[in-house]
Structure 1
């Protein structure tokens, strides 16, 4: 009996210590996951440059679900070039893809191996060869830089009183939006491409963290005010990825909601819980860890411990649940093979509000790369829908 009591006396503290250690590890994983959700991300290299042929102007990349697809894309690099444009797939095998270079790479240039595949394509507004100017929008976060593309003075169908305001996604900048500018310009519509707090261009908030649309919408609302002061009578909001979540929050929260004529959403985040669970599964994180991480972010105290400035109200960010609050027509452009933000919530919103939401079928293309994969189909969907809603003439 004495030996049993002695064994228990040793075992119980040991088991408690093991339990505490497991709990500490779990808590650490939960808070780390929560922190990744709200802290601005750094661009991650996702492919490698295997070879560059400066004579044939071709490039070989490791094969991924993104690099193997046809279309025009971009590649963030280091060395002599920061960014190069890529064209058609010329050949591929199980391990690599050879593509045409659309940016001339000179012999002797240094091109480092690690790279990041991109759908941006255009990096600077000057590449569009359209009139533009830099403007500053005073928002609650401070002065937010924006690019303004006026309506074509040569267009007899120009509608200078309807502005398009574009909102980029998470971990990117305004350059993401440049692909859409020529479409709206061709319809005679001015376009304002905006920044928002903590995106690396606009001012940093106190904590420097994302609110997933819950705070950022105020900067877009300031852009609406700017447009209304400068001649707009109504605006069309276009949001990319998290920019879609921001646009939706603006649509239900802005005092200017009656001036929001429509929303165009590319690969949007419609419900963050759906997105975060999907991304957790892709990273091999099993429940209940994702649920616990979202629970941490919903509590004011633990949210601040994870890096958030305030609690994240996921219910308020669920636009399927809040579908009845939407008033403006919505065009959703979302690939069923998005691979990063699943289209499930977009389909759910379309089903919840068939009177407002139009969602043409797209597949194969990856996240925010519909323009890259199917520029013609993507452009046609926007132009026909906008024209049907009296928001610009059919462009060239």
Structure 2
């Protein structure tokens, strides 16, 4: 019986031709499983890379990241969830319900149990009582007329079409000094109104411009951001507008991505010879540094981030990003190109910016101490330095302009 069982067992292991089946080594099974896992990982990585590269260049509104927990109209107060922005001291905008409402917030009254209570100084539009979500913004003013100054609505004829701009004339209308204000990514020219008063005090006409794909100016053919690599052409057109209206000296002030646009125009604009200085607020000086910071913030592996950079930097990436032309990230790196800085530059940047790290600004200042002045802030976050400490922000620009005879 034992022999029969053994024989039967052996027969069961043979195929119809009487041969024993080949055995698959354990390492082969492991290799196949690893290959399948690698393929899945590669596919997931490709999806993440595609999404990241598209997100970098696709215009979109910022996300409402603050919960509105209550609004007491009678006492003029509001309760918000605690975030890094909602607890900032100073005066800010509250843009709520997907940008359909706008209120202005004053100082923090209390912070306890995950709730911050602040004053509400004005509700400009929208139903704050019914709002449930919003975001804190440094973009405080809606229109320059709120400053009590004359304002002309003008158009700048850019390569993509006529772009609206605000012109705030100098007190002395015969002045030939102009400042062109360039806003950042995901916002509009209203962001730059905060910069008008200090320059007006120094005798400047202020031109607050729009540029391609920002929601005010016309779209480019691809409808994508180029991080300054094409937008500088619209700033160049604004310089032409200024020259046609008597400008002989131009200062460019760039906010966030507007800083990258200003740096590009310094070396590439037709009228770059008239640019006397740059003032940069929370600027994107080195986009790879900025994007790697954002990747770490969202826990994206650096290798995938680098793949996204390659995608937006090469012609073959257009099928993924929608870019008509690749973005030259090396040309946008003004730490690497610091020797090409040709005019005085004032940089205002907070070390806890939270969006554009101050490392690029600090490195540029270290590379070019002869021309670059850095005024570091802390706590103030991204493009909210004026809101956090208006006096220091204004005094920094005022002193710098005075010392350089600008």
Q: Same fold (TM over 0.5)?
A: yes
Give 1:269's match in structure 2, choosing from 279, 284, 294. 284
SS in 2 for 1:288: helix
Check if 1:139 corresponds to 2:154: no
**1:92 corresponds to 2:111:** yes
Q: Name the residue aligned to 2:204.
A: 189
Give the deviation of 1:254 after TM superposition.
Answer: 1.4
1:113 aligned to which of 115, 118, 132: 132
Query: Which ranges of structure 2 fall in alignment gaps of 5 or more residues?
Result: 1-19
Among residues 79, 85, 95, which one is paired with 1:66 in the alignment?
A: 85
1:201 to 2:220 alignment: no
Count of residue pairs the alignment pairs up:
386
Structure 2 residue 50 is matched with structure 1 residue 31: yes
CA shift, 1:78, in A, is: 3.2
Q: Distance in 2 between matches of 1:149 and 1:114?
A: 34
Would the aligned equivalents of 2:232 and 2:264 in 1 still touch at CA under 8 Å? yes
Note if contact 1:77-1:111 (Cα within 8 Å) is conserved in structure 2: no
* CA displacement 1:294-325 (0-9 Å, x = unmatched): 11111111244222222121111100111111
CA-based RMSD of the aligned residues comes to: 2.1
1:171 Cα deviation (Å)?
0.5
Deviations 1:253-278 (A, max 9, x none): 11221100000000000000100000
**Pairing of 1:203-352 with structure 2 (within 5 A):** 203-352=218-367
Bigger CA radius of gyration: 2
CA contact (8 A) 2:279 2:345 kept: yes
TM-score, normalising length: structure 2: 0.90
2:181 match: secondary structure: strand
Structure 1, residues 170-218: CA drift from partner, whole Å, max 9, x if none?
A: 0000010011111212222110000111111111011100000000000
Deviation at 1:361, TM superposition (A): 2.7
Q: CA deviation at 1:79?
A: 9.7
State which of 152, 165, 170 in structure 1 corresponds to 2:171.
152
Q: Is the 8 A contact 1:263 1:328 kept in 2?
A: yes
Are the counterparts in 2 of residues 80 and 109 from structure 1 also a CA contact under 8 Å?
no
> Aligned partners of 1:159, 1:269: CA distance in 2, in Å?
34
Aligned to 1:394: none
- SS of match in other structure, 1:103: strand
| Range moving further from structure 2, 208-217 or 181-190 | 181-190
How far off its partner does 1:43 sit?
2.3
- Per mean C-alpha deviation after superposition, the further-off stretch among 288-297 and 369-378 is 288-297
